[in-house]
Amino acid sequence: MDDVVNQVLAISYIGSEALYNSIIYFFKEARKLTRAVNIFEHMQNSRNLNCRPSIRTYNIIFTAFLSRGSNTYINHMYMETIRSLFRQMVDHGIEPDIYSLNYVIKGYVLSLHVNDALRIFHQMGVLCNEMKSKGFIPSSTSYNSLVNALALNGEVEEALKYLWEMIEKQRSAEFITYGTVLDEICRQGKVGEAMRLLKEFLEIDLLNGHTYRKLLYVLEDDYGDSSAHSQFR
């Protein structure tokens, strides 16, 4: 594949944004980040304006960097590159879309830059007003990432605020999101409050019986199966 790509790059008149995007995507899936970045840089330097990076190109590159692993240090290092690329994209007159904003939020959360993630998340409100006609709402991924990050950072009230907001906007919270919030509430010595909240999730049909029991058993295993919990069975 590398030989074919090199031949394509050598013939400028057959290139196009869509073709180069496909090549970048291929290298992303093959986990060849360096080659993906090389193609991206080739697009930037192209004299053919139809081959220059678009919002689609940037989004593919963002996902390439974010797929490098779950290690916080690694994500912190790559986040500097993502932040630089995001600024570059805006400077070149390319307007961020919901996907690019979600990728930046995810990058900040993975690298534990929670405040920066919240700042970008709030900026979505401006974009939201402009895109209401298109039915824009922040994605479930963005909400889940933020709620988890806030809870892990001990900011339970903020985590619950965004959890209820995502529910109101009919975005689905993941099992791990509920678990992380409830666990942090328990860690702060409010086991009874966590149990009542879990019961409320069940009563308003956010959880089915199986998921409710699974979360209940996890909390009981970690924080004890006292008689105070029996009312929640």
216: pLDDT confidence band, cut at 50, 70 and 90?
very high
The CA distance from 11 to 29, in Å, is 24
- 221 has pLDDT over 70: yes
Percentage of the chain exceeding pLDDT 90: 37
Backbone angles phi, psi at 137, to 5 degrees: -145, 140
**CA angle, residues 145, 213, 178, in degrees to nearest 5:** 15
Write out pLDDT tens, residues 63-119: 998 876 555 555 667 777 888 898 899 888 887 777 787 787 777 777 767 677 677
Collapsing DSSP states into helix, strand and coil, what is residue 136? coil
pLDDT number for residue 193:
94
pLDDT number for residue 106:
76
**Mean pLDDT (whole number) for 199-220:** 92
pLDDT number for residue 132:
45
Amino acid at the residue 75: N
Write out pLDDT tens, residues 10-42: 776 677 899 999 999 999 999 899 999 999 999
**Mean pLDDT (whole number) for 165-172:** 89
pLDDT number for residue 71:
55
pLDDT number for residue 227:
38
CA torsion, ordered 178, 182, 185, 190, to nearest 10 deg: 150
pLDDT number for residue 203:
94
Amino acid at the residue 223: Y
Please state whether the predicted TM-score (pTM) of the whole model is above 0.85. no
Residue 158's contacts (CB-CB under 8 Å, 6 or more residues apart) are 150
pLDDT number for residue 122:
65
Residue 30 is given by DSSP the state T
- 225 has pLDDT over 90: no
**Mean pLDDT (whole number) for 143-171:** 86
pLDDT number for residue 197:
95
Mean pLDDT across the chain: 81
> Of how many residues is the chain composed?
233
Residue 121 is given by DSSP the state H
